[in-house]
Amino acid sequence: MDLSGASTLVTGGAGGFGEQTVRRFAAAGAAVVIADLDEGRGNALAKDLGDRVRFERTDATSQESVAAAVASASELGPLRAAVIVHGGPVVGARILDRSGAPYSLDGFRRTIEIFLTGTFNVLSQAASAMAATEPLDSGQRGVVITTASIAGFEGAVGQSDYSAAKGGVIGLNLTAARDLSPLGIRVMSIAPGVFYTPAYGPDEEAAQARWGAGVPNPKRMGRAEEYARLAQHIVENDYLNGEVIRIDGAQRFNMR
């Protein structure tokens, strides 16, 4: 599938992975809707990239908000690609604290709502818009790329909610691909390891020293543009479907 002339949607498009994906898609000739809650970063990015890129304030957990972002993308042309890379706050707590009290059920639910339910919300609504488009000569209508995590395979201590959410994204992937195959819509998932993004703060050297040393090869944290490069390849390679691709430098989380 050629990005040139396509319309695309990136939820979390103002963040680390999202921004690099937006930039890469725009450079390839796609129109892009940046769907994010961060109005400052989102509007600045859209202004930087020109008239074919627009920002839509979007809450991935809201049906109405996502519907508006999908409609905006569809105004720019047939929606051909959606990348779901939005994030949110993660508490990082054990199931029981030192006193034996359980982790907040509301906190657990909120993480599932953002990372799993929000992913399904965007996937289903983007797929609905793609299904209404005319197929390309290849028979393809579009591709949805979700974002899992290696924590969905082997979560570390204190990641019960995040690991459960990302494990759900991994489990959703093949079923969604099979559900949507008759419509010519592919579904793929990217499972990143430790990547340096703005979430780690401005001191990249300190982050690399703490997190990069645990990566077998290359011995560093991933770069957001490496995620974006993979996302572009997935869009352009029609035979990639129903798979979760780990991009982690062979890292496996340990018990810590």
> Could you give the maximum distance between any two Cα atoms of the chain, in Å?
62
Rounded to an integer, the average pLDDT of 92-116 is 95
In CATH terms, the fold of domain 7-247 is Rossmann fold (3.40.50)
User: Please, which pLDDT band fits residue 29 given cuts at 50, 70 and 90?
Assistant: very high
Q: In terms of C-beta density within 10 A (0-12 exposed, 13-18 middle, 19 or more buried), how is residue 193 classed?
A: buried
Judge whether residue 10 has pLDDT over 80.
Answer: yes
pLDDT of residue 200: 78
Torsion sign over Cα 249, 8, 88, 198: positive
Helix, coil or strand: residue 135:
coil
Residue 9 pairs with which residues in a beta bridge?
33, 82
* Active-site residue (options: 103, 162, 200, 227): 162
Catalytic (active site) residue 162: yes
pLDDT, tens digit (0-9, with 9 covering 90-100), for 109-165: 999 999 999 999 999 999 999 999 999 999 999 999 999 999 999 998 999 999 999
- Helix-strand-coil split of the chain, %, nearest 5: 45, 20, 35
